[in-house]
Amino acid sequence: MTERHIVGMGGGGFHMEPENPLLDDFVLSLARRSPARICLVPTAGGDNRELIIRFYRAFSGRATATDLTLIGSPTLPTNPPRSSQLESFVLEQDIIYVSGGSGVNMLALWRAHGLDKVLRKAWEQGVVMAGMSAGLICWFEEYIDASMTGTPTRMRDGLGFLKGSASPHFNVAPGRRAGYRSLIEQGLAEGYGVDEGAALHFKGTELVEAVGSRPDAAAYRFARGADGKVGDEALPTRFLGAR
């Protein structure tokens, strides 16, 4: 069976830790060939031009970089492939790297273009799926969004490659832990809280390990107990900079 990988970061990578390549190096190490073909999908950030340029700079000399824009203009480094081109373009990649931003907007656009189905096919064929923030939560069945209502809201339209839910930026967003626990108590699927600088690595649909670009970055598993109360435990997190 083809080996499938998902790496979901709570924050970090080239656009949050430009001087710390440990998480991005880890993602590259999972690619099926070297140099890897790595494609940025910046939909969640509105196909931001500056972000795309930073991506190319970060991976120059380390991989063959490209991007897939669904909102972008012809001034971007590459024009967006459309319809008949989309599947073949994605399947040529070794890594899909999803940026942060609005998960709700991103998933709506992906479905409008049929990219959700293309990404699943690519994952099943061994293309590594990776990303941070929106690029963490999108792979799960459920996630939390506050962009539409102003308050954290349970969303059930994740891609569903992975069971459960996830919440990023766990160590920097005030009230994130308590809010995530509360929403699980109200019915949100059990899942994971992930610090900035930490990532979850899934092989197939099984969690292999949590890794970090900082010694203090961690990830947490949230689950309901027999009494219905939600507890959490810190997952062992391997610091990628350890010698």
Q: Which amino acid is at 34?
A: S
Active site residue 133: yes
8: left (phi over 0), alpha (psi -120 to 50) or beta: beta
Catalytic residue among 99, 102, 113, 133: 133
Residue from 130, 157, 159 nearest 10 by CA = 130
Which residue of the set 5, 113, 169, 201 is catalytic? 169
Catalytic, 113? Answer no
Is there a contact between 233 and 220 (Cβ–Cβ < 8 Å)? yes
Tell which residue, 163, 148, 144, 32, has the closest CA to residue 91: 32
Adjacent-strand bridge partners of 209:
201
Active site residues: 133, 169
